[in-house]
A and B are shown apart, each in its own frame.
Chain A
Amino acid sequence: MTSPLPRLPRLPPLPWLSARDRLADAARRLFLDRQARFWLRALDPLLDPSGLRARVRRVVEETADVRTFVLEPGPGWRGHRAGQHTTIEVPIDGVLTRRCYSISRAPGALAITVKRVPGGRVSGWLHDHLHAGAVIGLSPAAGDFVLPEPLPPRPLFLTAGSGITPALAMLEELARRDALGGATLVHHARSREDVIARGWLEGLAREHAGFRLVPLLDDAPDGPPGFEPQRFRALVPDFAERATFLCGPPGLMTRVEALYASAGASGRLRRERFVAARPAVSAPSAAARVRLARSGQTVTLEGPGSLLEQLERAGVRPEHGCRMGICLSCRCEKLAGVTRDHDTGATSEEPEPIRLCVSTACSDLELDL
């Protein structure tokens, strides 16, 4: 059980790719690749061949705590569908940090809309430090929270807070294709001032006769709970027959999911979670389970010591060296979970390489072992 599985032999390259691969390999071995990267980047950071980049064109104040960053992507950008998201990468105190945001514009334009989360490291940094002209990393658009083709006749959007952002892109797309008639947006916000893109939405409602905008405001006299079943049924009596797009905080999602299930309409509901499910974070060294991705086995960590010592006690023998954090022999990719590095004192929440000999688990983990 404990011996590492043999690595699969490398498959021969596909014949029609090999010429290009060989060239890239030769460039790397002659150190021409990093020269090329350096000069292209000097010419224009958007041309960086090591990954997609985008330049911030404009920063728009949407509400007191929400900003839209209008982006100009580099030539590698393959476009997106309304409702998809992208992962941006920014250097916070020099540390490349990633966050996923819905794209808030229809295809043809690119923007992300970010709410400043109280105490949020990334959203706070974006608000304070990301200005027009800055260049950030970007992943290709992804996600299946999109408008189906052909377009549904009377789509229903249920959103709350910054969960409205993918809906904004979809509404823009519908308006552009003159298919907004019959659409309804039920949006929950704290107050009228907190409704993102309120001016634009009200303009849409004026211009497109069939578009219904239903704001649910905490401070309204007849205010929420807006997605409370009875009230919601009164607001949108035919909800169970409409293609529905739901995006909001977990509480709202659960409530609406239950509502659609009880109406036998779960099949009509499309969802986008914008708060990633966080692993349960505990104090270091509590018993955690570790899934070893390469061998497929799962072990439980027990007793004191570093991850390396705990893994060894569990019968796993990862490659290692100095056991004091200096030689990096035990550095291994952490695929999921939270760990703490006792050498640097840093907590690692994202997938990244960690040094097993100076780290402890703060949650269940998945390691590339």
Chain B
Amino acid sequence: MTPSSPRLNELQLAALARELDAIEAEARADLGEADLAHIRRVMRVAFVAEVAGRGLLAFGVDPLSFVLGTGALTLSKILENMEIGHNVMHGQYDWSRDPELDSRAYEWDIVSPSASWRHAHNFEHHTYTNVLGRDRDLGYNLVRVSAEQPWNPGYLVQPLTALGLGLFFEWGVALHDLRLEELRSGESSPREVWARARPFLRKAGWQLGKDYVFFPLLAGPNAPRVLLGNHLANLGRNLWAFAVIFCGHFPEGAEVFPEADLEDESRGHWYLRQLTGSANIEGGRAMHLLSGHLSHQIEHHLFPTVPAWRYPEMARKVREVCARWGLPYNTAPLGTQLRSVARKLLRHALPTRPRRPEPEPTAAEAPTPARPPIAA
């Protein structure tokens, strides 16, 4: 039994794994035309919105078309990054063999090159979710979201750091994937870092060229208007992605885990770690779609390769399992989760101390409601 999961023994974890495996198998058996119809419909909306947005920005002269154009372009970028790019690159549609939905071939409209993001995200983050020292997405090495992360005075300004990260999130993600800090620790040679940086610089150059030179120039006298609209669309998409992702793992209640948990970790414990290390956002269909269904971060972490639009349906079964096993299921509306993340950022800006793990509950206590997480 590991410190952060004192509530289930290995036998119980194996049973839990079987139940969650069954939920995945059921969804997988049903994969087919409907999944493709969904993702192609979203792609259609994103393509049309991009053309409409760029057209309104380039050819309009009035403020209304500027607002509408910027809005449409933002919508297109959000859909492309969240529901299409992120999910396709998770291999959610690889089974269809459609070359346009191939996880290896897809490139997204963001400065981080797909290949380096896929490694950092699909492997490091999804395998070692919320494990201190292993999951580099834990606070992105920029902010302190748990008392277990060592404090330094730089964290005093982390509310501002977080705001900056939000505005330039795509750059934060790209720099994060370069692992520049390994230069200082000696884990990577300058050569290795340069090898990682080159595809990024190349992609970033094209991205900047596209939104800040190419499309503005195409618009002739409307260039400043297009440039501003493009920039606002990028900022809007960045802020939205940042908000959704920070709500996914950092609200109060989302647990962090010691590295020792990884030793000989069973599938059941991996599931438990995904379940207790993630948090959902409640909302309607639009919320789910615009978040790329990361509003179901819990289901996404349990079943990362299942097409994400199936998460709402799978969530009902996951919640039922959680209720039966007495496991926490962290979910709240966007505003609540954002406030929760903000409180955490403020609190851990100061040198907080980790709380001691609670003594293990006896069997009679087992199905109690959510236990205080170790990383409160």
Contact = CB atoms under 8 A, between A and B. Distances in A.
Contact of A326 (B25, B33, B127): B127
A30 interface: yes
A335 to B, nearest CB: 15
A155 interface: no
A283 to B, nearest CB: 21
B137 to A, nearest CB: 14
Given A30-B214, A35-B47, A93-B33, A324 B267 contact: yes
Contacts of B31: 93-94
Interface stretch (B93-101, B186-194, B226-234): B93-101
A327 B100 contact: no
B219 interface: no
Nearest to B203: A29
Residue from A38, A97, A327 having most chain B Cβ neighbours under 10 A: A327
Contacts of B209: 30
Per DSSP, chain A at the interface is loop
A329 B126 CA distance: 12
Contact-residue bracket for chain B: 35 or more
B315 to A, nearest CB: 19
B121 to A, nearest CB: 9
Given A326-B127, A346-B95, A321 B305 contact: no
Interface string B89-110: 0110011111110111001010
B270 A324 contact: yes
A95 B127 CA distance: 28
Given A331-B104, A353-B94, A94 B35 contact: yes
A324 B99 contact: no
Chain B CB within 10 Å, residue with most, of A31, A50, A352: A31
Given A29-B206, A322-B127, A328 B36 contact: no
B126 A327 contact: yes
A322 B126 contact: yes
B122 interface: yes
Contacts of A353: 94, 102, 104
Given A94-B31, A95-B97, A352-B97, A31 B122 contact: no
A353 B34 CA distance: 23
Contacts of B107: 28
A39 B43 CA distance: 12
B119 A326 contact: no
A352 B102 CA distance: 11
A322 B118 CA distance: 12
A31 B123 contact: no
A346 B209 CA distance: 43
Contact of A94 (B25, B36, B44): B36
Interface string A293-335: 0000000000000000000000000000110111111010000
Contacts of A324: 127, 267, 270
A91 B33 contact: yes
A64 to B, nearest CB: 29
A11 interface: no
Nearest to A42: B44
A96 B96 contact: yes
Given A35-B47, A324-B270, A353-B104, A96 B126 contact: no
A329 B123 contact: yes
Nearest to B35: A94
Contacts of B312: none
A345 interface: yes
Contacts of A39: 47
Nearest to A355: B91
A34 B122 contact: no
B210 interface: yes
A339 B31 CA distance: 20
Contact of B305 (A95, A325, A329, A346): A325
Interface string B312-343: 00000000000000000000000000000000
A254 interface: no
Contacts of B118: 327-328
10 interchain residue pairs of minimum CB distance = A321-B123, A327-B123, A322-B127, A327-B122, A96-B97, A29-B206, A93-B32, A94-B32, A38-B47, A94-B36
Interface of B: 25, 28, 31-36, 43-44, 47, 50-51, 90-91, 94-100, 102-104, 107, 109, 118-119, 122-123, 126-127, 203, 206, 209-210, 214, 267, 270, 304-305
Given A38-B44, A322-B123, 7 more contacts: A37-B100, A321-B127, A324-B127, A326-B305, A328-B94, A344-B95, A346-B95
